[in-house]
Structure 1
Amino acid sequence: MGTFAFLSSCLSDDLPGVGDLVDLTGPSPSFNFDEITTSQFTCDEVLIFANYEIYFQAGSNLAVNGTQYEWSISEIINETEEIPVTDIEYINSQRTVLVASIKALKADVIAIEEDIEELELKLPCETDQVKINAILAKIDALEIALQAANDAITEDIRESIADLENQISNLPAGTVNDQNVIVAFPGPGTYKVALKVTDNNGWSNTIDENITIIEAVPTIPVPEIGEPSFEDNSLPDGTGDGRDSWRVPSNSAWSPTGGGTTVIQINTDTNPVDPPNLPDGRQAAKFPAGGSRVAYQEIEVTPGAEYVLTYHSAFEVTQYADLKVSILKPETSNYAESLLEDNIIASRTDNNIDRVDNIWRQHALSFEAGDNESVIIFVTNSGDESRLDFFEILVKQ
């Protein structure tokens, strides 16, 4: 005969339901941060200002009301010593949202203002009167564009901008108890940032992380390449035949053939509407068969910086051809010295094997400036006709 067990239960309002059990685990704090440091330097690298700011966003495993947050920050002097930081400023995190909204409403105006400011900062260090005049002309043109951009802002948008600016000016200060807060640090250094999170049951836990604030440094300027696309009238003063920036200091010293004309020829696109087209503009550099023409330009660089130089090549394909782009040390004084390994910082050679006639291909050449304040871009060819166009250079981050 089988045995049956009967189970019964009772409900009582005096007993907590499952959902009412007290959470004894406590919160698990976490935080993310984004550096929003801003700085500005004069053209000769004197610091104008530096705002060392970081936006902190606190989190926790809890999604209950009443969670409390408390930030504390100390500076680490060495591996064993910490000191409180008294000149920390806590900024309301809503400032970030409001500033972004203003930038979105007047994006065109802000972009032009930044371009003008960049040129004005550059101007005091420029000694070449032609370049000074070109900068002043650009500023004048930008001032006109700025006025037009300001005039294009509607009255409704102006009112919205004014309202956002008023909200920023009336924001309460940030506090150590804000869940999200911007912290303005007094300067570079290593700081211990601690976050204590307390839940609505009174349980709390703390997390901390060491954060290093790097001293602001000037932005490495992008070198200027004269007539980079070999176009007419592309010098700073609006003149030039596309080749003036690329002439060697001495034909006899730099000629691969021992003398004669070395200046590059120009290839012109007479039909810019239909392909194939040049990578940029209407003109490109042409290096005829025989290798007698070269391109030479010395550009300023920042010692210690790394750069990437890009350019485009095209070839005739009736016979073998190659094109070599070299970055030379500034003391290189002739063609023979350009072949010495000690003078070559970097080089790249491309050829017409498996290439299609008149079809352009982009190349990249990375190099380090080392101790040099300038380098020479030097281009040679051999074999069949080669063409070159559209130099660009960027700072490698």
Structure 2
Amino acid sequence: MKKFLTKSIYRASMFIVLLALSQSCSDLDKYEPLGANSIADATPPSADFSFSQGVGQNEEWKDYTFANLSSNAITYLWEFDDNTTSSDSDAEKTYPGEGMYSVTLTATDGNGVSSTVTKTLEIVEPEVPDVLIPEILEPGFDNGDAGDDPVEIDSRAVWRNSDLGGVLQITGSSGYHDGNYGGKLPESADRIGYQEIGDFTPNTDYVLSFRYRLKDDVSDMFGVLNVLMVKPTTDPADVAANTVASVSFSEDVVGTSELATGTLSFNSGTNTTLAIYFFNELDEAYIDTFTLAADD
């Protein structure tokens, strides 16, 4: 009886071991990459990507960035139609010009299973928008001040900013202006001109032109005229930080005998509104005939 039980126990144990081995081999067979008993990858890779065109004033439109949107993959292969490739997760490409271009991304998982997607780009150079030219009010001060005809118009009104200085004067003296009148900054250097102008095209080059003259009344010092383009401000302490561009003219360099032409070149940056700001130092100065144009 004892021998019979021992044999039965032995046989049962062997059956369990053989069953376990059979099950283990069956599980291994399922995950073999190839063969009759293999099964599909439970999480196969899926290749996908998006792309964006570069933006800028030059030829950034030829630059493309490719963002990898693939899932369940660990390696990548980008293929471009000029036979260049990249194995980076994301990719960048500079194209020679307008046209139709294809991009292929292959994403592969740890089991060697791959997914491939191809997309076509139509590259077109963006149209350059028309440059907006903001209007300068009373650019030549030709309506004079409130004491002149017509009395209801004062050229100084649009050039006021009492936080930065007193309002400029108006001159009608021959040789110190174009047209009817001109702006005058007296020797005391306590008056300024300031006017906000809007509707600039962002990130665009402009040039501000004007006529000016320095009067040599103070013989032992050289007068200076400063013309600035600034982001709008009413605080003198913020002028330096808000200055986009500036130019200065000194009487020892430009002379004083007649009106000269000055220019200030600047880029609008991200701004759509800026301000013309001018003031003098040490001696009398005159300014007139402001014009604004795109700097091609």
What's the TM-score, normalizing by structure 2? Answer: 0.53
1:303 paired with 2:202, answer yes
1:283 paired with 2:187, answer no
Post-superposition Cα deviations, 1:320-377, rounded to whole Å, max 9, x if no partner, equal 21110111112x2222221x2x211111111111444340111111111111111111
What's the TM-score, normalizing by structure 1? Answer: 0.40
1:246 paired with 2:159, answer yes
Judge conservation of contact 2:227–2:279 (CA < 8 Å) in 1: yes
1:337 paired with 2:238, answer yes
1:266 paired with 2:170, answer yes
1:214 paired with 2:125, answer yes
Judge conservation of contact 2:209–2:264 (CA < 8 Å) in 1: yes
1:190 paired with 2:103, answer no
Name the CA shift for 1:356/1:213 in 2 (closer, same or farther; >3 Å): same
Which of 310, 321, 325 pairs up with 2:223? Answer: 321
User: How many Å separate the matches in 1 of 2:131 and 2:152?
Assistant: 28
- Once the 2 structures are TM-superposed, how far is the Cα of residue 246 of structure 1 from its aligned partner? 0.6
User: How many Å separate the matches in 2 of 1:313 and 1:362?
Assistant: 6
- Residue 336 of structure 1 aligns to a residue in which SS? helix
User: How many Å separate the matches in 1 of 2:182 and 2:212?
Assistant: 10
Amino acid at match of 2:225: L
Name the CA shift for 1:217/1:325 in 2 (closer, same or farther; >3 Å): same
- Residue 231 of structure 1 aligns to a residue in which SS? coil
User: How many Å separate the matches in 1 of 2:267 and 2:153?
Assistant: 30
User: How many Å separate the matches in 2 of 1:337 and 1:222?
Assistant: 26
Amino acid at match of 2:169: Q
Residue 227 of structure 1 is matched in structure 2 by 138
Count residues in correspondence: 174
- Once the 2 structures are TM-superposed, how far is the Cα of residue 239 of structure 1 from its aligned partner? 6.0
Amino acid at match of 2:248: T
Amino acid at match of 1:291: A
User: How many Å separate the matches in 1 of 2:226 and 2:253?
Assistant: 17
Judge conservation of contact 2:176–2:213 (CA < 8 Å) in 1: no
Amino acid at match of 1:315: L
Post-superposition Cα deviations, 1:193-217, rounded to whole Å, max 9, x if no partner, equal xxxxxxxxxxxxxxxxxxx863323
Judge conservation of contact 1:231–1:241 (CA < 8 Å) in 2: no
User: How many Å separate the matches in 2 of 1:361 and 1:277?
Assistant: 10
Asked which structure has the greater CA Rg, the reply is 2
- Residue 353 of structure 1 aligns to a residue in which SS? helix
Judge conservation of contact 2:230–2:243 (CA < 8 Å) in 1: yes
Residue 284 of structure 2 is matched in structure 1 by 385
- Once the 2 structures are TM-superposed, how far is the Cα of residue 221 of structure 1 from its aligned partner? 1.4
- Once the 2 structures are TM-superposed, how far is the Cα of residue 295 of structure 1 from its aligned partner? 0.3
- Once the 2 structures are TM-superposed, how far is the Cα of residue 189 of structure 1 from its aligned partner? 3.8
Name the CA shift for 1:215/1:277 in 2 (closer, same or farther; >3 Å): same
| Alignment map for 1:1-397 (pairs within 5 Å) | 79-80=81-82, 189-190=98-99, 214-232=125-143, 240-248=153-161, 251=162, 253-255=163-165, 262-269=166-173, 276=175, 278=177, 280-300=178-198, 301-319=200-218, 320-330=222-232, 332-338=233-239, 340=240, 342-397=241-296
User: How many Å separate the matches in 1 of 2:238 and 2:216?
Assistant: 30
What is the root-mean-square deviation of aligned Cα atoms in Å?
2.8
More strand by share: 2
Judge conservation of contact 2:176–2:182 (CA < 8 Å) in 1: no
Name the CA shift for 1:363/1:372 in 2 (closer, same or farther; >3 Å): same
Amino acid at match of 2:164: W
Name the CA shift for 1:233/1:361 in 2 (closer, same or farther; >3 Å): closer
Q: Which runs of 5+ in 2 are unaligned?
A: 1-79, 84-96, 101-122, 146-150
- Once the 2 structures are TM-superposed, how far is the Cα of residue 318 of structure 1 from its aligned partner? 2.9
User: How many Å separate the matches in 1 of 2:229 and 2:235?
Assistant: 14
- Residue 279 of structure 2 aligns to a residue in which SS? strand
Judge conservation of contact 2:144–2:181 (CA < 8 Å) in 1: no
